[in-house]
Amino acid sequence: MNSRQTTPDPLHFDVLIVGSGLAGLSAALLLPATKRIAIITKRAVMEGSSGWAQGGMAAVWNKNDSFEAHVQDTFIAGAGLCDPQATRFVVENAPKGIAWLQAMGVPFSEEDGQLHLTREGGHSARRIVHVTDATGAAVQRTLIEAVKNAPNVTLFEQHTLVDLITTDKLGLPGQRCVGLYALDSDTDEVLTFEAPQTILATGGAGKVYLYTTNPDTATGDGIAAAWRAGCRVQNMEFIQFHPTCLYHPHAKSFLISEAVRGEGGRLLLPDGTRFMTHHDPRLELAPRDVVARAIDFEMKKGGFDCVYLDISHQPLSFLMEHFPNIYARCLELGIDISKQPIPVVPAAHYTCGGVLSDLQGRTDIAGLHAIGETACSGLHGANRLASNSLVECLVFAQAATDDIAQSTTAPTAALPAWDDSRVSDADESVVISHNWDELRRFMWDYVGIVRTNKRLERAAHRIALLQGEIHEFYSHFHVTRDLLELRNLVQVADLIVRSAQARHESRGLHFSRDYPKLLDQAIPTVLNPGN
């Protein structure tokens, strides 16, 4: 990997990749070695959501399973809104993606010389390929090492996307992405990156909510930047709340994997009563939206701070083999999961919507691809089936890079450097932290697991006020990472609320007390910046 050197603006590359999760790193490694690639990531390369993924990757891997069964499970979880073509495309290409990871050296868990397959909620068969209970971290370590050894890849850590640069914004004909601006947090300078192809792989927007399983990096940067550049977004109302986030004051965002329920974990009230029997015949193996609403209902009904997930009936040896990281983390906090239940609460987990993209990961803007959680490929519909997200990253990284490898692009005019000559340093950064806190709290209260028209109206009103304040701040002061992230979160919050207001039914992850019924026809929610 090249070390970064002082280079006159703009910095020239063949492909810019924003984000260093599974989608971004896979794309960098799948592109032809002749391409000069920049990976731009706003923290350290390991700090994205992919590294936090515990469960694994869903793929049809044995004779007792079928592509058709995986497709149907995805359709059922997606509540009728999954795109059939995208779903089949991902399901049929998932085994090839996992085989590529095996070839890269990812140490998937095995049993009797074969990949060990576990089962998770919503799946009709065991098809989850995993590395114990820390799949994402193992995959990331392998790919990061490969990227660091790739001579055609330059890694720009601590660089935050400011905005995309498009030809129409430069007064040139057409609408094409030709580069981007990114803030170097180490120098506080905004650098200009120029390339004929850009891939957005920035992950989701879980930090728009007060409680989330996501890392601090999940601020919707790619979704917001693509929207500002002129891309449509789709299905932003569908925010998946993971049912079981560890409830403990010192356990920030620690997820208790879906696989714990897949291996027999039972959800209990504080008095030990099992409650999923009252909510769904699939019990703890119901899809995440069903389980999350059930927990939310029981907590509000009983005034509980949390519920409990009990796996203590399994032998200690089983727990140590299958959930070593969960066992160790809980034990650090004084919870022995082999003897006592785990306190859990729902938390914002996954952004099912995103930048509208096709089967090659292409967006509305030429030269701009979106893959992974940033994109809305149509795979997840109204609710993501467990462990479909990492394979989506792999499959669309392959599709997008194939598309880029076959494309030819004429050079564009020189890009202008970032101009901050008319702004000053902010005198009160407390405005940013206060607005960030306010946003996350009212999104949790008003746009959470259960919604109403009134709650959405209240959220929309507050978002409009915040947008005015942030625009004024952005126009008058030097940009900082905190300001950029807040600007993006408020934009994403606006898209979530507008999408939720447009859906007059309850479907999948979007549950409205004012529209409790399911409409006969499943129609995606598409927002257009031009409208």
Q: 13 and 36 in contact (C-beta within 8 Å)?
A: yes
Count of residues for the chain? 531
Q: Considering the candidates 266, 288, 329, 451, report the single residue annotated as catalytic.
A: 288
**Three-state secondary-structure class, residue 67:** helix
Q: What is the model's pTM?
A: 0.91
Shared-domain flag, residues 159 and 116: yes
* Residue 436 within a domain: yes
Q: 284 and 310 in contact (C-beta within 8 Å)?
A: no
* Residue 421 within a domain: no
| Three-state secondary structure readout of 198-262 | EEECCCCCHHHCCCECCCCCCCCHHHHHHHHHCCCEECCCCEEEEEEEECCCCCCCCECCHHHHH
* Residue 160 within a domain: yes
Each residue's pLDDT, cut to its tens digit, for the chain (531 residues) gives 554 444 457 899 999 999 999 999 999 999 999 999 999 999 999 887 777 777 799 999 988 999 999 999 999 999 999 999 999 999 999 999 999 999 999 999 999 899 999 988 889 999 999 998 788 899 999 999 999 999 999 999 999 999 999 999 898 888 999 999 999 999 999 999 999 999 999 999 999 998 898 888 999 999 999 999 999 999 999 999 989 999 998 887 788 988 899 999 999 999 999 999 999 999 999 988 889 889 988 988 998 989 999 999 999 999 999 999 999 999 999 999 999 999 999 999 999 999 999 999 999 999 999 999 999 999 999 999 989 999 999 999 999 999 999 998 766 778 999 988 788 887 667 888 899 999 998 998 899 999 999 999 999 999 999 999 999 889 888 999 999 999 999 999 999 999 999 999 999 999 999 999 999 999 999 999 987
Q: How far is CA 439 from CA 98, 161, 436, 461, in A?
A: 38, 21, 5, 11
Shared-domain flag, residues 262 and 231: no
288 is an active site residue: yes
Q: 234 and 226 in contact (C-beta within 8 Å)?
A: no
Give the total number of structural domains in the chain.
3
Residues linked to residue 11 through DSSP beta bridges, in sequence order: 193
Q: 17 and 37 in contact (C-beta within 8 Å)?
A: yes
Q: Which residue, 348, 363, 379, sits at the end of a domain?
A: 348
Shared-domain flag, residues 37 and 63: yes
Label the pairing between strands 110-111 and 153-156. unpaired
- Please tell me the number of Cα atoms within 13 Å of 171 on its side-chain side: 3
Range of the domain at 198: 11-237+352-405
Shared-domain flag, residues 29 and 127: yes
* Residue 529 within a domain: no
Shared-domain flag, residues 259 and 326: yes
Shared-domain flag, residues 18 and 164: yes
CA distance 507 to 230: 28
Shared-domain flag, residues 138 and 196: yes
Q: Which residue, 332, 348, 364, sits at the end of a domain?
A: 348
* Residue corresponding to tokens 């806190």: 437
CA distance 531 to 521: 24
Q: 353 and 232 in contact (C-beta within 8 Å)?
A: no
CB atoms within 10 A of CB 149: 9
Residues linked to residue 176 through DSSP beta bridges, in sequence order: 366
Shared-domain flag, residues 64 and 153: yes
Q: Which residue, 348, 365, 384, sits at the end of a domain?
A: 348
CATH code of residue 17: 3.50.50.60
Shared-domain flag, residues 48 and 168: yes
* Residue 531 within a domain: no
Q: 161 and 222 in contact (C-beta within 8 Å)?
A: yes
Shared-domain flag, residues 37 and 143: yes
Shared-domain flag, residues 27 and 129: yes
CATH code of residue 486: 1.20.58.100
* Residue 520 within a domain: no
